[in-house]
């Protein structure tokens, strides 16, 4: 019976047939140490020449996915698991997550890393092309409150959602941040220090993809603790005020505030306060250290790898830690 495959013009028939057979191996159609269909069979099944099949087999053999012996024909030697990892954007803490994830996996796992830059069209394009080509999918959604319908096309036992996820997802495994209650609780740990300032400013630019739920938690925290507060939707803080504590999301905002304060002879932790979201190694050495609110990104990577290695369902919201330094 002829396979329903259309060979395109983007690469040779040999490469396309090699990719098809590789995908079948990865998805378990052809298991380790079992024979592959004969050259004659595949030639008829895919309507290609015997030479095309032979060259496709040669390519797979060079990559050590298959081998051959007289009398046995071609057979699978290695079934490498392919992992699809889709993150939102590059940052130092996402690099920590990635390194922790791949270190925990063995060499029998191949991880393909993609970024969607919070763009729904890019997200949909990348994910749509990936569906059916991988053993496992580890995905950071593009929106904290919007469940992508493409997730319904992936076996729930093969999909892990990371970071964002304030939507119904009980049928899926997830390791997420909590951007409201955990944010509130983390700020509570800083109350004694924040009360020294006449105002607390939370910089949350209008176009920021950071979940807006944090704004509500910030307002509630400041109201509960009788702190004067402001949420700034500006792209940049242009005037750093004395006796004001700033809470910022992006690493670029930390740099911007420090630069502008130095222009006015002000020192972080003495003349104004600064708290950053998501810790990076740089925050340990900028000025006398920048206080941060952060989940453990290394732990997230390890837990994601555990999901791949064990296949066990996981439902976990990560604790937001306060890493106290001299900036407040």
Q: Kindly report the number of other CB atoms within 10 A of residue 36's CB atom.
A: 21
| pLDDT band of 1, cuts 50, 70, 90 | very low
Give the span between the Cα atoms of 320 and 311, in whole angstroms: 26
* Greater model confidence, 247 or 65: 247
**Average pLDDT estimate for 150-179:** 93
List pLDDT tens digits, range 296-306. 999 999 999 99
Tell me what the mean pLDDT of segment 58-70 comes to. 83
- The band of 19, judged by pLDDT with boundaries at 50, 70 and 90, is confident
Residues in the chain: 328
In degrees, to the nearest 5, what angle opens at C-alpha 159 toward C-alphas 115 and 308? Answer: 95
Report pTM.
0.76
Count of C-beta atoms within a 10 Å radius of residue 109:
18
pLDDT, position 5: 60
SS3 181: helix
- Report DSSP state, residue 121: H
The predicted pLDDT at position 49 comes to 93
pLDDT of residue 170: 84
pLDDT over 50 (residue 179)? yes
Domains and CATH numbers, the chain: 13-76 (1.10.10.10), 181-294 (3.40.50.2300)
């Amino acid at each position: 019976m002829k396979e329903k495959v259309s060979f395109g013009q983007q690469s040779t028939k040999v490469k396309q047939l090699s990719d098809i057979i590789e995908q079948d191996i990865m998805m378990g159609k052809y298991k380790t140490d079992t024979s592959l269909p004969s050259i004659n069979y595949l030639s008829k099944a895919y309507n290609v020449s015997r030479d095309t099949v032979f060259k496709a087999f040669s390519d797979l053999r060079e990559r050590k996915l298959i081998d051959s012996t007289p009398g046995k024909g071609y057979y699978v030697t290695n079934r490498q698991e392919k992992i699809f990892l889709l993150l939102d954007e590059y940052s130092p803490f996402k690099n920590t997550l990635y390194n922790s994830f791949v270190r925990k996996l063995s060499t029998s796992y191949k991880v393909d890393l993609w970024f969607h830059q919070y763009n729904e069209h890019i997200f949909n394009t990348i994910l749509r092309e990936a569906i059916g080509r991988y053993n496992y999918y580890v995905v950071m959604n593009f929106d904290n409150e919007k469940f992508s319908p493409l997730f319904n096309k992936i076996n729930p036992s093969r999909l892990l959602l990371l970071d964002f996820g304030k939507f119904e997802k009980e049928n899926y495994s997830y390791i997420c941040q909590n951007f409201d209650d955990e944010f509130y609780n983390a700020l509570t740990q800083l109350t004694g220090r924040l009360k020294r300032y006449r105002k607390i400013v939370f910089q949350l630019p209008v176009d920021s993809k950071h979940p807006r739920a944090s704004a509500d938690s910030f307002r509630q925290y400041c109201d509960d603790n009788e702190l004067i507060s402001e949420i700034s939707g500006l792209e940049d803080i242009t005037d750093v005020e004395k006796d004001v504590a700033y809470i910022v999301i992006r690493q670029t905002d930390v740099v911007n505030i420090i630069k502008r304060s130095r222009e006015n002879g002000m020192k972080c932790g003495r003349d104004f306060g600064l708290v950053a979201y998501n810790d990076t190694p740089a925050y340990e050495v900028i000025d006398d250290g920048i206080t941060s609110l952060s989940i453990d990104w290394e732990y997230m990577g390890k837990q994601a790898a555990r999901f791949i290695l064990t296949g066990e369902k996981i439902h976990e919201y990560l604790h937001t830690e306060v890493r106290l330094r001299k900036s407040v």
